[in-house]
Structure 1
Amino acid sequence: MNQYQKLNQSYINGKWIDGAEDTVIELHNPYNMDVLANVKIASLEQVNEAFNGSKEAQKDWGKNAALRKKVMTNAIKYFKDHKDDIMEILTLESGSTAIKANLEFDLTAGVMEEALTLVDHIGKFEEKTSIIPDKMNENYRLPKGVISSIAPFNFPLYLSMRTIAPALALGNAVVHKADLQCGLVSGSAIAKAFEEAGIPSGVFQSLLTTPDVTGDAMFNHEAANLVSFTGSTSVGRRIGKVAGEQLKDVSLELGGNAPFCVMSDADIDKAVDAAVFGKYLHQGQICMMTNRFIVHKDVYDEFTEKFVARSKEVKHGDPRDPDVIVGPLINEEQMEKSLTHIQKAKDAGYDMLLEGEQIGNILTPTVIGNIDNDSDLLKTEMFSPIALIVKGSSDEDIIAKANDTQFGLSSAIFSKDEDKAREYALELNFGMTHINDQPVNDEPTAMFGGMGQSGIGRFGSPYIIDEFTEGKWISVQKRAREFPF
């Protein structure tokens, strides 16, 4: 048994405790539906206890840079020392293949190491000369306070730590709620790492609970100064509404509808290489994942023929097999949604270039071509290994079609003309565009975030500093000032 299967409790105010609700939820392996753990879910009262504890604990934590460095350094070491167990629970709980689990672990370690560089930004000031004689201005960055962190199931470890690590380094306390489907790796493993690292009681809280119990408590508790959420746009709107009424800050990474633009002069072989990775990594369950391939008519046939051939070669099966690329979808509901999308494409008469097969909770790669740009399918985030291909009449038409969405997270352009591609990239209404690469990219020092309905705020260092801190201006009058009255 993986060690984290035993950590089936919430971590509240420095103690591992069972949830106070009577409800017990089974956590399953999505590949074979084995029960990994049984969790008694935390109650609303326990959620409130966590926030109240964090509000008190944050005061000293935010003032102690030496302790923050020590804890963050120890936590990084813990993760590296326990890499094998962490990778295994990623596979068991979220269906991560070996490639995806390695990628997620490396991203997590990277964001933690970068967070360590942020510790000294708190409490230090930048001097600015004043326009008033004999005055000196000092600009400070102070902790935001308590940050409410709400994570998704798809990259459960990284998308949790992307908020938690910089938040803690910058002197905040964090109340974290994992998606319970991946509560062991997204909540318990992180809590254990910080417990072993010596974090003070209350500074980090991990809640294993459900939205049915918490309601709006994760984003309307008076102690929460900022809500950091990664997930669906519909939930993000709800968070924005509730938090906005209380004038709370939010950092939201929401849905995506990433276009992969194959221009008339693209290197098709290289585009196909990128397309296969950018569609099938983690079964397509990534917000940045390619949702629409928009291909110039002159290279459409070549691209689709080669992409379908490569898609047929993608190995599916048990994610514990290191050669497997496509493992299970997260749950049966996601499978049903995916099969419904395929049936809609059939009913509409689109080209079934490669029809996937359901094998248990695995859907093998599916490729659908010649989709009308006004199809509802192209407005829907597939979150599965279903590739949708649209034909563009010109390079300009490709960009116009790519922008025909309310979402604006990530995007990609393939072209041999880098200068022209850069011009097109600036025209794309997406927070991130990758030239001659696929859209699934994230780096600790890159500006990460979306436009439109894909979110608010930016991750990455140093941009996260503005999100997770408060600015304060202190001025010092060195010599008595003369006033006009």
Structure 2
Amino acid sequence: MLEIESLNKQYIAGTWREGQSENILVDTNPYNGEVITEFKMADVSDVDLAYKSALEAKEEWNKVNPYKQRDILENAVKYIEDHEEKIVNIIIDELGGTRLKAAFEIGLVKDMIKESAIFPLKMEGKILPSVEDGKENRLYRIPAGVVGVISPFNFPFFLSMKSVAPAIGAGNGVVLKPHEETPIMGGTLIARIFEEAGVPKGLLNVVATDIKEIGDSLVEHPIPRIISFTGSTKVGSHIGQLAVKNFKKPLLELGGNSAFIVLEDADLDYAVNAAAFSRFTHQGQICMSANRILVQKSIYDEFITKYKEKVSSLKVGDPRDPETIIGPVMNERSAENLKAIIDKGIEQGATPILKGNISGNMVEPTVLTDVNTDMDLAQEELFGPVISVMPFETEEEAIAIANDTRFGLSGAVHTSNVERGVEFAKKVQTGMIHVNDITINDEPIVAFGGEKQSGLGRLNGEWSLEEFTTMKWISVNYQQRQFPY
């Protein structure tokens, strides 16, 4: 069964159990504040058991025929398809996501699992020549071991699965810690999916808890070889340093401050729609969301008029309403942070051409002009339905503004001349940028990752396979070697 009441326990060593902590994790609906369920938190001893179970089960998983492993992963997709409406409802209740957002996220998850399902068939090796006579060099691609995954609250189903599925597909054991505000969508639902799909018990473990309870034990534990973290740059920096200190590989997908650039020859109506989608999908709570819109001065006034009209038309409210585009942000802390940065920006000279009300977790859209690059509005990841629109004269000025940030995750540039867009895009310091498209793009076979303080490493397709495996050199000497002494 796929009911919330069956998903409020830890999943460790192949069993559903209460956490060993005395503390309770309360899972609430961000729209109405209702309690969805409660978890008895995992503690450090649970983390230890989870890692030991993953290491033991990995050996069993590695003995399974690769074609059977593929079939098991494909079973996970079938399970999601059979329970899709229930999953949509959990996304709405636990995340405050709209039905549109839920369908988008579920589609990404299915594509990611389908890609990961072929990993067992791609664990290729090489035979290389040797400088020594009668010797052969063999390179074997093998699983890295056990992977620790720490996922965020905004797209928890996908951003957990983005590491979990390829790690399992590449032969690893996994311990997953979902964000404390989304323990089901980011954690126990995924455990149920793989349990029903048929992976060995203990291969995937989920610990629902918070950092105050377990500290750095998930990263410092001696078993995991890789720590995959998605979240804020501040926390990611700490986790990355801790991982390296303990000789583990960090994979970090961190914050963004994406620029959406509109050149004078762009299709203006199309650019307006793309810019709105790039900012307001899931209330702007996506690392790839457009934080800044840069518009060439010759079309700036017309863009502002059309954009204000478009954003004003977006329905704000109950995420269960199919017409709702903007639901609640995740918590009141997020709403308060957004209010503070808006107020500070206005004090510094920004002009709100559209200023939405903020009540509890509900944040209506705000569009600000007269923003300069020194303001927090232009420098910080806003993570909510707030956007700055900034004019520029020349391409060189636009590139300078776009690059004036410590982040470098995504971006978009709009122009009627595709090659002009490509040449422009090459100059923006970001891991991903899209010509005549939205800033929010993620495809299962295309390298995904950021530059600067937006992260380390690349995921998806062959890059995930590379990240979650290692190469082992075994040489074979077919004759006796001559030694100098």
TM-score bin, normalised by smaller chain: over 0.9
Cα offset for 1:6?
3.3
Show CA shifts across 1:25-49 (max 9, x none).
Answer: 2211111111100111111111111
- 2: CA distance between counterparts of 1:345 and 1:433? 27
Deviation at 1:481, TM superposition (A): 5.0
SS at 2:461 equivalent: coil
C-alpha separation between the residues in 2 aligned to 1:363 and 1:94?
A: 15
Distance 1:326 1:464 in 2: 32
Structure 1 stretch displaced more, 1-10 or 235-244: 1-10
Which residue of structure 2 aligns with residue 228 of structure 1?
Answer: 228
Which region of structure 1 is more displaced relative to structure 2, 147-156 or 234-243? 234-243
> Unpaired runs of 5+ in structure 2?
none
Paired residue type of 1:78:
Y
Distance, in Å, in 1 between the alignment partners of 2:407 and 2:225 is: 27
Alignment match, 2:16: 16
Q: Alpha-carbon deviation of 1:153? A: 0.2
Distance 1:162 1:262 in 2: 31
Q: How does 1:15-414 map to 2 (within 5 A)?
A: 15-64=15-64, 65-122=66-123, 124-414=124-414
SS at match of 1:407: coil
Question: Aligned partners of 2:427 and 2:484: how far apart in 1?
Answer: 51
Aligned partners of 1:63 and 1:171 also within 8 Å: no
SS of structure 2 residue aligned to 1:299: helix
Alpha-carbon displacement from aligned partner over 1:3-35 (angstroms, at most 9, x marks no partner): 124311010001111111111222111111111
Aligned pairs, how many? 484
State the shift of 1:269 in Å: 1.2
AA aligned to 1:103 is F
Q: Which position in structure 2 is the counterpart of 1:427?
A: 427
1:289 corresponds to which letter in structure 2?
Answer: S
Distance in 2 (alpha carbons) for counterparts of 1:181 and 1:426: 38
Deviation at 1:359, TM superposition (A): 4.2
SS in 1 for 2:298: coil
Residue 183 of structure 2: SS of its match in structure 1? helix
Is the Cα contact below 8 Å between 1:5 and 1:184 reproduced in 2? no
Q: Deviations over 1:305-335 (max 9, x none)?
A: 1111100001111111111100000001001
Which secondary structure state, in structure 2, belongs to the residue aligned with residue 419 of structure 1? helix
User: Equivalent residue for 1:474?
Assistant: 474
Q: Is the 8 Å Cα contact of residues 335 and 360 (structure 2) preserved in structure 1? A: no
Give the letter for the 1:435 counterpart: V
Between stretches 60-69 and 467-476, larger displacement belongs to 60-69
Counterpart-to-counterpart distance in 1, 2:44 and 2:317:
39
Give the Cα separation in 2 of the matches to 1:259 and 1:194.
Answer: 38
Letter of the 1:270 counterpart = Y
Give the aligned CA root-mean-square deviation in angstroms.
1.6
Show CA shifts across 1:401-439 (max 9, x none): 100111111111111121121112111110001011121
CA distance in 1 between partners of 2:360 and 2:451 (Å): 36
Q: Distance in 2 between matches of 1:114 and 1:441?
A: 16
Q: Is the 8 A contact 1:121 1:141 kept in 2?
A: no
The answer to whether the 8 A contact 1:79-1:193 is kept is yes
CA displacement 1:440-465 (0-9 Å, x = unmatched) = 00000011000010000101101111
Amino acid at match of 2:82: D
Give the stretch that moved more between structures: 139-148 or 62-71.
Answer: 62-71
Question: SS of 1:265's equivalent?
Answer: coil
Equivalent residue, structure 2, for 1:4: 4
TM-aligned CA distance change 1:299 to 1:131, over 3 Å? farther
Aligned residue for 2:390, secondary structure, equals strand
Aligned counterparts of 1:188 and 1:163: Cα–Cα separation in 2: 15
> Do the aligned residues in 2 keep the contact of 1:62 with 1:170 (CA within 8 Å)?
no
SS in 2 for 1:353: strand
Structure 2 CA distance, aligned partners of 1:5 and 1:89? Answer: 12
Identity %: 40
Q: CA deviation at 1:476?
A: 2.9
Q: Distance in 1 between matches of 2:62 and 2:468?
A: 12
Instruction: Tell me whether 260-269 or 182-191 shows the greater mean CA deviation.
Output: 260-269
Tell me, in whole angstroms, the C-alpha distance in 1 between the residues paired with 2:131 and 2:364.
66
Tell me, yes or no, if the aligned pair for 1:4 and 1:188 is still in contact at 8 Å: no
Matched-pair contact (CA < 8 Å) for 2:69–2:169: yes
Shift of 1:238: 0.7
If the length of structure 2 is used for normalisation, what is the TM-score? 0.97
Distance in structure 2 (CA, Å) of the matches to 1:154 and 1:129 = 49
Q: TM-score normalised to the size of structure 1?
A: 0.97
Conserved 8 A contact 1:145-1:173: yes
Q: Is the 8 A contact 1:356 1:364 kept in 2?
A: yes
Letter in 1 for 2:406: Q
| Worse-matched range after superposition: 302-311 or 356-365 | 356-365
1:63-111, Cα deviation, whole Å (9 max, x unpaired): 3234422321222211111111111101110011111100000000000
**Mapped partners of 1:235, 1:294: distance in 2:** 29
Between the aligned partners of 1:180 and 1:108, the Cα distance in structure 2 is 20
- Distance (whole Å) between structure 1 residues aligned to residue 31 and residue 219 of structure 2: 33
* Distance (Å, rounded) in 2 between the aligned partners of 1:269 and 1:70: 45
Structure 1: tracts of 5 or more residues without a match: none
Shift of 1:340: 1.0
Cα displacement string for residues 193-226 of structure 1 (whole angstroms, at most 9, x for unaligned residues):
1111222221000111001111111111000110
Query: In structure 1, how many angstroms separate the alpha carbons of the residues matched to 2:59 and 2:304?
Result: 58
| Matching residue's letter, 2:107 | D
Counterpart residue identity of residue 384, structure 1: G
**Which amino acid is the alignment partner of residue 76 of structure 2?**
A
* Aligned residue number for residue 450 of structure 2: 450
- Deviation track 1:235-279 (CA, whole Å, cap 9, x = no partner) reads 111111111111110110001110111122222111101001001
Write the letter of the residue equivalent to 2:255.
Answer: G
Question: Tell me, what secondary structure is at the counterpart of 1:252?
Answer: strand
Counterpart-to-counterpart distance in 2, 1:198 and 1:433: 38
